[in-house]
Structure 1
């Protein structure tokens, strides 16, 4: 038995060793290096001198830092809950379809998700172009004039959020479809026999049973949207007047443009701690609410 246990232990160690090595190399060491650099005045490449908390104090005295924190939070508000609710609503409609029609609709909704961000932003720059964009007809009908949305501080961030929802919602849709398919149809049949309406079926059956998937989608969306960078950089570059300047763009500015590796690492540490803290708290609160 001892020999067999040793053999199993050795097999288990050999099986997990590639993952452990990859994890330490790709994730753990870079995170350690990020924390270490944040306490130095190092450039992007090379060593620096220990400066303690000076980088963090500089951030607290930097107006652009607070602007980027605010804009990141604003973007999260515009995307996380709306994206989740839209995905759930679409899933409730698509799950009622059958056969090839359901497959076709799923493909159409999921197709944007597999597109590169550069393609997505290019498509929407054409759609929202002030002179030739087809979406300008809707904007003109609502506001009475055409608007260069990515050059207007009031419109820029909501439009980036709209593009993000259109781009990423297909993934949420698939998660909700999977969750809805796991709900036994017997529950609905029994409820209908008792005279329950569709709203009552949703409130008493669908919503409680789909809640774990909803909590997962909300957590994933929160993490993803806190890391917003690509769409903002390609569409607005943080403008106009820093109205779309986000935390990852500040990391890019300090580390890659100004060669302030230590200060850029401090911003990255701040964002890392926000993501870990907020996502863990949200997921635990959602689990408690689900129970």
Structure 2
């Protein structure tokens, strides 16, 4: 019978422990920079904003604890409800239309035999442009006096100053700016569907719309649900386009929640109240995103 050598066994055990410890230390050192950045630039600011929301702090952050005063005031403030409704209106104008336009263009681009990459690049190019460039271009195109659109159509609408058309105009600019990203995701999803499935369905006599609803749409739903979720979160946080194109006007018709928070914090010096708006917006996004994610997951399961 073979006998184990106690000293050798102990040495091997210690060696394995040292190797495991070194692996953990290496992994920890690799994660540490990200963890520090995450805590410093996300967790700490979030906790700080939550803490300020319970105070009457000014822009410098100095103030006294006031409990739920800011939250009670916010719920009774008509401007808050107006900003919330405007935000929801903007979401209605952008999330689903942007998704449908992206899907339609992706289907058309994949049908092209020539210049497919060129057309895709042309649609994706606006997405990489800074928002300041995008808004400058559309300020010129839709200018009421010297704009290209009004010149070609003979229209006299002041698009970004009209109470009725200001929000739809900003929504249109947003879709033009961001639809390229959706197209790219949809094309990736469409190309992941095996051609064999279409060939088998064609042999069974399926074609056209039946192919789309029976094969394309079910296989594309995971990508579609991801796009809808990303769009929803992004449009809840709308600020840049509104600030640069309308600054919330006319008559607060395009005042959204983030712009309302900006006004209270940087213009009115109400840091605590502005933080309250930010916290409420964060809670709304979390709740709505959780509900939408659950509904979309049910769709995936079905």
Is the shorter-chain TM-score for this pair beyond 0.5, marking a shared fold?
yes
Q: What displacement does 1:137 show?
A: 5.5
Secondary structure at the counterpart of residue 41 of structure 1: coil
Match among 161, 177, 195 for residue 171 of structure 2? 161
Q: What displacement does 1:139 show?
A: 5.9
2:197 corresponding residue in structure 1: 187
1:134 corresponding residue in structure 2: 148
TM-score (norm 1): 0.95
Question: Superposition RMSD on alpha carbons, in Å?
Answer: 1.4
Residue 68 in 1 paired to residue 78 in 2?
A: no
Q: How many residues align?
A: 286
For 1:45 and 1:279, locate their aligned partners in 2 and report how far apart those are by CA, in whole Å.
32
Whether the 8 Å CA contact 1:251–1:268 is kept in 2: the answer is yes
Match among 38, 46, 50 for residue 61 of structure 2? 46
Secondary structure at the counterpart of residue 238 of structure 2: coil
Residue 106 in 1 paired to residue 116 in 2?
A: no
Q: Closer, same or farther in 2 for the Cα pair 1:180/1:21, shift >3 Å?
A: same
Whether the 8 Å CA contact 1:112–1:167 is kept in 2: the answer is yes
Residue 200 in 1 paired to residue 236 in 2?
A: no
TM-score (norm 2): 0.91
Whether the 8 Å CA contact 1:121–1:231 is kept in 2: the answer is yes
Q: Closer, same or farther in 2 for the Cα pair 1:160/1:272, shift >3 Å?
A: same
2:277 corresponding residue in structure 1: 267
Whether the 8 Å CA contact 1:95–1:102 is kept in 2: the answer is yes
For 2:66 and 2:251, locate their aligned partners in 1 and report how far apart those are by CA, in whole Å.
32
For 1:132 and 1:260, locate their aligned partners in 2 and report how far apart those are by CA, in whole Å.
39
1:17 corresponding residue in structure 2: 32
For 1:88 and 1:172, locate their aligned partners in 2 and report how far apart those are by CA, in whole Å.
7
Larger radius of gyration: 2
Superposed, 1:23-34 pairs within 5 Å as 23-34=38-49
Runs (4 or more) in structure 1 with deviation over 4 Å come to 137-140
1:83 corresponding residue in structure 2: 98
Superposed, 1:115-130 pairs within 5 Å as 115-130=129-144
Whether the 8 Å CA contact 2:52–2:61 is kept in 1: the answer is no
For 1:139 and 1:208, locate their aligned partners in 2 and report how far apart those are by CA, in whole Å.
41
Residue deviations 1:69-127, cap 9 Å, x none? 0100000000000000100111111122346x111011100111111111111111111
Match among 244, 257, 260 for residue 250 of structure 1? 260
Residue deviations 1:231-268, cap 9 Å, x none? 11111111111100000111111111111110000000
Residue deviations 1:270-291, cap 9 Å, x none? 1111111111211121011111
